[in-house]
Structure 1
Amino acid sequence: MTPLTPVDRLRPLNSKLVSHKPAHQHHRTDTNMQAPIDYLNPQLPANLRCVSMPLVAATDATLSGYGRLVDDPAQCQVEIVRWPAQGTRPVDADTGDEAGTTEGVFISEWRGDILYGSNEAVGGNYILAYAVAPELASTEHDRPPARMLLWHANYHPDGGQLFFPLERRPFYVPLALPGDDVTPERFVCFSFDGTQGLYIHPNIWHEGVFGLAGKQRFFDQQGAVHARVSVDFAREFNCLLEASIG
């Protein structure tokens, strides 16, 4: 495939859409996260509690440690993490980071009460969030969502990730700092006005980009290895992460 030029990257692209517990307790349920996750049919338990995320306007200051704002995607270099050594000998300095990046269009689309995502860069299709309890969710209406309920998040140990809006419309991105001991209360929901994009460092917990209504498109660039480490809030913490968007 011929690499995209900086102008091509901003050009519209064809894509395939592809029981309650007290909030202060963390009763983490161990799950077999090695089994493939069915992102389009997560079969979540009913009656999950909700953990509210603080809503913070995205600035370079508030994003410190997570990443940064991006004015021009052509000027944003995605970090690639060198393949880790397996013993006492180091990986040769000119190897282990040569897979580069992959890119495409990330689509965030509300259909009734369900927010669907598709990532052309890695061929992924997902349910990102719900506007109501998952067991009550319906796609048979067009009412705008008043909140989003997040059931899953992940990070990429192999590289960073860039999201840049192809339409100048507001969007949200929930993030948490690195650590496999992550808990729901560590997540912050950052709001963006649609005039700038977001770059996140490797190992930052996230779950794509969340449009506030209808369908929104983003240019996505990330590490081509695409290693993914997951947290399932519903099964591990008996909860969903919540943010108001109405």
Structure 2
Amino acid sequence: MDHAAETIPNLRPEARVMPDLPVHPVPLVRATSETVKGFGILIDHPDAQKVEIVRWPAQGWRQVEPGTGDQGGTTEGPFTFRWKGSVLRARNDAVDDHYVLGWSRQPSLAREDEANAPREEWLMWRANYHPDGGQLFFPLTPGPFVTTLALPGDDITPESFVGFWFDGGQGLYIHPGIWHEALCPVVDSLDCFGRQGRVHARIGADFPKEFGCYLSTPLTRDAVRERL
């Protein structure tokens, strides 16, 4: 493979270059120990859950020797989320990167230079997973937030995703391989502590390109179900 020819995905697309598309409504369920089972674990403290690190896979019939292949450790730091008008931006200091996570309305109407206003939905344009390790998010500031997740497997569809509502206070640990796009505050901003595998392999899906739509996760409390 010609690695020089590989294209690094643009994780900060300007709204003006993104198309207006149909939206796929994502069911929103209250995050409890039962509803997040399989996706991850609710946590009451950043150190309540150790980040799982996946051993490097063997390339043939010879096995990776015990005690090797999982020594990369973790990285951690602030993970901040900010609504700028109708654009959701985030920064993950643990991996020194920043992102546009989506919009609260169709991209042609999304603007950063407008006053923040109540938002009814989060239009998500991509998701990713980390095959090398889990990831932990713990809120440091008050306020409800949502996250949108899917179980492991590359053959996802928009129907694979579920939204989870958090009232604030508790954090979330997701297992390796869980599809996600971090968090979305219901309020204007959210500061979190983040911890994840240091290798930080990322496998992504672009919803406009693959499915011709955006995922729409509700941001209103009255949309929350108690169970799926």
Q: Give SS of 2:147's match.
A: strand
> 2:111 and 2:46 mapped to 1: Cα distance?
36
Q: Which residue of 2 aligns with 1:140?
A: 113
Identical residues among aligned pairs (%)? 48
> 2:155 and 2:90 mapped to 1: Cα distance?
26
Contact 1:178/1:205 (8 A) holds in 2:
yes
Contact 2:127/2:180 (8 A) holds in 1:
yes
Q: Which residue of 2 aligns with 1:104?
A: 77
Shift of 1:83: 0.4
Q: Give SS of 1:243's match.
A: strand
> 2:13 and 2:40 mapped to 1: Cα distance?
31
Shift of 1:37: 1.1
Q: Which residue of 2 aligns with 1:155?
A: 129
Q: Please state if 1:194 is matched with 2:168.
A: yes
> 1:147 and 1:162 mapped to 2: Cα distance?
24
Q: Which residue of 1 aligns with 2:225?
A: none
Q: Which residue of 2 aligns with 1:41?
A: 13
Structure 1 residues 65-86: Cα deviation after superposition (integer angstroms, max 9, x where no partner): 1011001112210000000000
Which consecutive residues of structure 1, in runs of 5 or more, have no partner in the other structure? 1-33
The size of the alignment, in residue pairs, is 213
Q: Please state if 1:66 is matched with 2:66.
A: no
Q: Give SS of 1:174's match.
A: strand
Shift of 1:46: 2.1
Q: Which residue of 2 aligns with 1:231?
A: 205
Runs of 4+ in structure 1 displaced over 3 angstroms? 42-45
Shift of 1:47: 2.8
Q: Give SS of 1:231's match.
A: strand
Contact 2:39/2:150 (8 A) holds in 1:
yes
TM-score normalized with structure 1 length: 0.84
Structure 1 residues 206-242: Cα deviation after superposition (integer angstroms, max 9, x where no partner): 0011111212100000000000000000111100000
Q: Which residue of 2 aligns with 1:25?
A: none
Q: Which residue of 2 aligns with 1:79?
A: 52
Q: Please state if 1:174 is matched with 2:145.
A: no
TM-score normalized with structure 2 length: 0.90
Structure 1 residues 74-118: Cα deviation after superposition (integer angstroms, max 9, x where no partner): 221000000000010000111000010000011110000100011
> 2:134 and 2:208 mapped to 1: Cα distance?
26
Contact 1:109/1:213 (8 A) holds in 2:
no
